[in-house]
Amino acid sequence: MCGVFGIHGHDEAAKIAYLGLHALQHRGQESAGVVAGDRTLRRHVGMGLVADVFDEKTLGRLPGAAAIGHTRYSTAGSSEVRNAQPFLFEYSGGSVAIAHNGNLVNAEDLRNRLEASGSIFQTSSDTEVIVHLMAKVPEFDPVNRLIAALRQVQGAYSLVLLADDKLIGVRDPHGFRPLVIGRLKDGYVLSSETSAFDLIEAEYIRDVEPGELVVADNAGLRSFKLATSEAAPSRFCIFEHVYFARPDSLVNGKSVYRARERMGTRLAEEQPAIADVVIPVPDSGVPSAIGYAKRAGIPFEMGLIRSHYVGRTFIEPQDSIRHFGVRLKLSPVRSVVDGKRVVVVDDSLVRGTTSRKIVKMLRAAGAREVHLRISAPPTTNPCFYGIDTPNRSELVAASHTLDEIARYVTCDSLGYLSHEGMMSTMGAIGEDGEVGVGYCSACFTGVYPVQLGKGGDGELVRLRRNKV
């Protein structure tokens, strides 16, 4: 869960990257950074939000016509500035800067091998492995080095790099994570999502294809195919559409807003409720709640208000104010829910703790009945490809029935969208009836497109340590 951005061919590349990162802030709030330059690359990274990490002065120290940037997601344990990206390294080929969204599943094995042969790592991130592999390739051209390095890595990666006056973007052969190409005046831009293009007024051209590597330099834009030993079907992460990407973005060529709205429509068909009002859990539940309300013919209202000013909360009074964390973020609107039968629509239910608190909050505000509807299937499996889902043991749907979850959450009824329903809203049902063509939905099905070695929760802990 990270955001990446790149630009080539603009006088104020670092400033544009900074703006682009603002529009990718939802993809990661732990750290932010920019590397910019022409042949000499300079770096500024810091912990926290984009607006806190950069100011006029720091951006002024990043001259040059090319830049890459990164917003990093907060994960337990590895919140250190040394893991803040982009990374900038010097090797025999010159300088190389790299920013990564995704998770490599064989990073630990590769790292052990590299360390055994003398490599000294500066970070605990899996991304650094790619640069060490590049350094070992006996080639001069950074693009050839990168292609050779990527032959050895497995898993999910959408990367942007600066090397040798070139901006490089690449997606893994399955295309788990998004990466889009745009044009800004005479230059090119790359971004995790088109939300960044809208902000900087760049024109969206197309997505980087799964297994494609693009190079923007003074000669224009060129495309290469990554050589892969086996056929790699496209496996775009369905959770980008369910929760992660911004609704004003296009990812994988599809509007996130419309995808969520269609999921809500289908949810209303599959899981109707007799109610007076439909309310979303803001922000990510809003488009699906709109879809649900329209289809069900029940009025849509904002029954929960989200505070946009809550950062991390450090104090959690144990007894004095219960449910403090969620209440800081969300508060109920009594005049909307009082005395009503309420349908609450959220995009996903992971541990169940948020929903449980929301249901209690709505009842305390006078809701007569609370019917929880989730516009995705039950989350039953952890993600190894870059989304921060907890261990299987913490996923409530992995070990509880629908009734047990409803009892835990204390709602009057609970309904999820079916896997088939979700995939049909994405046009992902094959002619032969295969459900989920083109997508990875391992978090809902447990079918992992890239092998995970031994697997199991022990493996997950090991991978999460290196998460970006």
CA atoms within 13 A on the CB side of 174: 23
Token pair 């300079």 is found at: 42
CA–centroid distance for 425 within its chain: 20
CA–centroid distance for 257 within its chain: 15
Q: Give the separation between CA 46 and CA 119, rounded to whole angstroms.
A: 25
Helix (H, G, I), strand (E, B) or coil at 344: strand
Site for ligand AMP, rule CB under 6 A: 243, 281, 284, 346-355, 387-389
Q: Give the separation between CA 162 and CA 129, rounded to whole angstroms.
A: 16
State the nearest-atom distance from the C-beta of 281 to ligand AMP, in Å. 5
> Token pair of 165, please?
């006056």
Closer CB to ligand AMP, residue 136 or residue 419? 419
C-alpha dist (Å) from residue 427 to 376, 434, 435, 437: 15, 11, 10, 8
Residues 6+ apart with CB under 8 A from 300: 277, 278, 279, 280, 289, 290, 293, 294
State the nearest-atom distance from the C-beta of 348 to ligand AMP, in Å. 4
Helix (H, G, I), strand (E, B) or coil at 143: helix
Closer CB to ligand AMP, residue 301 or residue 346? 346
CB-based contacts of 54-61 (< 8 A; 24+ apart in sequence): 54/18, 59/14, 59/15, 59/18, 59/34
C-alpha dist (Å) from residue 50 to 21, 24, 25, 319, 414: 7, 9, 7, 35, 38
Closer CB to ligand AMP, residue 255 or residue 355? 355
Closer CB to ligand AMP, residue 281 or residue 337? 281
State the nearest-atom distance from the C-beta of 422 to ligand AMP, in Å. 15
Closer CB to ligand AMP, residue 167 or residue 245? 245
Q: Give the separation between CA 368 and CA 378, rounded to whole angstroms.
A: 26
Name the nearest CA neighbour of 343 among 277, 290, 405, 269: 277
State the nearest-atom distance from the C-beta of 351 to ligand AMP, in Å. 3
- 2 in active site: yes
State the nearest-atom distance from the C-beta of 333 to ligand AMP, in Å. 18
Closer CB to ligand AMP, residue 27 or residue 171? 27
State the nearest-atom distance from the C-beta of 279 to ligand AMP, in Å. 13
State the nearest-atom distance from the C-beta of 255 to ligand AMP, in Å. 19
CA–centroid distance for 392 within its chain: 19
CA–centroid distance for 378 within its chain: 19
Closer CB to ligand AMP, residue 26 or residue 44? 26
Residues identified as active-site: 2
